[in-house]
């Protein structure tokens, strides 16, 4: 696997002189951050050796090199979801490549269903921990010690320093940021009322279909992680209504400017 990662990393390194220090994975309806990038180079996933190709609506599938707030970044516009049929190694391959390119920090954004009764649709939650409910793990199989340890520590999956900075940015700019636990599940079904209730009982504040695999792999390689989620629908008993991918995208797009602002400011403080 290391050789495959190296081939892709070398290909990408040779595309530009820019040396990204932060990798950003943009979730459903959250592509607006792209407007903030001073783009140096944009590459379609199809052109990248060994890269899987994204299929889901709302994900256009491009890797963008550029700067935001003077910080060189590499952004993934469109991610690979487990529910699309990619295995965990494919879902997390781009994160392996990022690290191989010298990137030490990973930012991830996503849309999620709110479980905490204090949340309302449109809220933004800084992820401070996660629960893996995929029933799978990207690190299953032979471990390559060059990438990371067999039994990686997960005591600080999301960087406490970046969380504290983000909360300060929210405070300084009048953006009410929530903080909570994200439970990652396979999808593609949204949850039944009983499943939302179960995830709440398990200790989660929001539920979604991504992020956990990427963060596990990033932590395996000792990258620091920052995760942020837009609550696009409610899984709180009594508030559950029918939900569609279109609504999720609409709510995410409406809340996105605030999230983009936080990420932009945070990138200035890396
Ligand atoms: N459940 C799972 N994933 C989601 C949801 C949800 O309610 N909303 C957006 N992504």
Residue 146: both structure tokens together: 């060059």
Where do we find the tokens 């299929």?
55
* C-alpha dihedral sign at 258, 37, 269, 45: positive
Q: Using a 6 Å CB cutoff, which residues line ligand 1?
A: 111-113, 187, 190-191, 207-209, 232-233, 235, 243, 248
Burial of 168 (0-12, 13-18, 19+ CB in 10 A): middle
| Domain carrying residue 138 | 2-267
State which ligand 1 atom lies nearest to the alpha carbon of 248: 9
When divided into structural domains, the chain yields a total of: 1
Q: What is the pLDDT of residue 55?
A: 60
Instruction: Find residue 238's DSSP bridge partners.
Output: none
Rounded Cα–Cα distance for residues 264 and 251 (Å): 20
Q: What is the pLDDT of residue 130?
A: 98
What band does 248 get if pLDDT is binned at 50, 70 and 90? Answer: confident
CA dihedral 199, 202, 203, 204 (to 10 degrees): -20
Residue 157 sits in a domain of what CATH number? Answer: 3.40.50.1580
Helices (H), 85-153: 88-100
DSSP 209-269: SSSHHHHHHHHHTT-EEEEEEEEEEE-STTT-----HHHHHHHHHHHHHHHHHHHHHHHTT
CB atoms within 10 A of CB 149: 12
Determine the distance separating the centroid of ligand 1 and the alpha carbon of 255, expressed in angstroms: 15
Burial code (b: 16+ CB inside 10 Å, e: under 16) for 57-73 equals ebbebbbbbbbbeebbb
Q: What is the pLDDT of residue 58?
A: 46
Q: What is the pLDDT of residue 221?
A: 98
Determine the distance separating the centroid of ligand 1 and the alpha carbon of 111, expressed in angstroms: 7
Residue 167: both structure tokens together: 């909360």
Determine the distance separating the centroid of ligand 1 and the alpha carbon of 234, expressed in angstroms: 9
Q: Percent of the chain scored above 90 by pLDDT?
A: 84
Question: In 3-state terms, what secondary structure has residue 45?
Answer: helix
State which ligand 1 atom lies nearest to the alpha carbon of 235: 7
Decide if pLDDT at 213 tops 60. Answer: yes
Rounded Cα–Cα distance for residues 48 and 51 (Å): 6
Determine the distance separating the centroid of ligand 1 and the alpha carbon of 41, expressed in angstroms: 32
pTM for this model (two decimals)? 0.95
Q: What is the pLDDT of residue 54?
A: 59
DSSP class of 188 = S
pLDDT in tens, 30-75: 788 999 999 999 999 999 999 987 565 544 589 999 999 999 999 9
* C-alpha dihedral sign at 111, 60, 134, 219: negative
Determine the distance separating the centroid of ligand 1 and the alpha carbon of 228, expressed in angstroms: 14
Determine the distance separating the centroid of ligand 1 and the alpha carbon of 232, expressed in angstroms: 7
Decide if pLDDT at 149 tops 80. Answer: yes
Rounded Cα–Cα distance for residues 187 and 167 (Å): 29
pLDDT in tens, 105-125: 999 999 999 999 999 999 999
Q: What is the mean pLDDT of residues 203-220?
A: 98
Residue 198: both structure tokens together: 């179960």
Q: Are 111 and 184 in contact (CB under 8 A)?
A: no
- Mutation pick for ligand 1 pocket among 27, 28, 56, 113 (CB with most ligand atoms within 8 Å): 113
Q: Are 110 and 27 in contact (CB under 8 A)?
A: yes
- Mutation pick for ligand 1 pocket among 232, 241, 244, 246 (CB with most ligand atoms within 8 Å): 232
């Amino acid at each position: 696997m290391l050789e495959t990662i190296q081939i892709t990393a070398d290909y990408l390194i040779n595309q530009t002189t820019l040396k990204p220090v932060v990798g950003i994975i943009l979730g459903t309806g959250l592509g607006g951050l792209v407007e903030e990038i001073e783009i140096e180079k944009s590459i379609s996933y199809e052109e990248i050796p060994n890269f899987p190709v994204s299929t889901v609506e709302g994900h256009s599938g491009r890797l963008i090199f550029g700067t935001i707030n003077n910080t060189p970044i590499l952004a993934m516009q469109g991610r690979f979801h487990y529910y699309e049929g990619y295995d965990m190694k494919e879902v997390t391959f781009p994160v392996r490549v990022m690290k191989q390119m010298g990137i030490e920090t990973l930012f991830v954004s996503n849309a999620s269903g709110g479980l905490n009764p204090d949340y309302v649709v449109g809220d933004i939650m800084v992820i401070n921990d996660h629960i893996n409910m995929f029933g799978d793990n990207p690190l299953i199989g032979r471990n390559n010690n060059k990438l990371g340890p067999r039994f990686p520590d997960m005591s600080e999956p999301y960087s406490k320093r970046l969380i504290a900075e983000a909360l300060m940015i929210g405070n300084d700019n009048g953006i009410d940021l929530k903080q909570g636990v994200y439970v990652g599940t396979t999808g593609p079904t949204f949850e039944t009322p009983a499943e939302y209730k179960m995830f709440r009982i398990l200790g989660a504040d929001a539920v979604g279909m991504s992020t956990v695999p990427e963060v596990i792999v990033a932590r395996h390689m000792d990258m620091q992680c920052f995760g942020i989620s837009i609550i696009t629908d409610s899984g709180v008993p009594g508030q559950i209504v029918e939900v569609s991918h279109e609504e999720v995208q609409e709510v995410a797009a409406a809340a996105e400017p605030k999230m983009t602002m936080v990420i932009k400011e945070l990138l200035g403080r890396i």
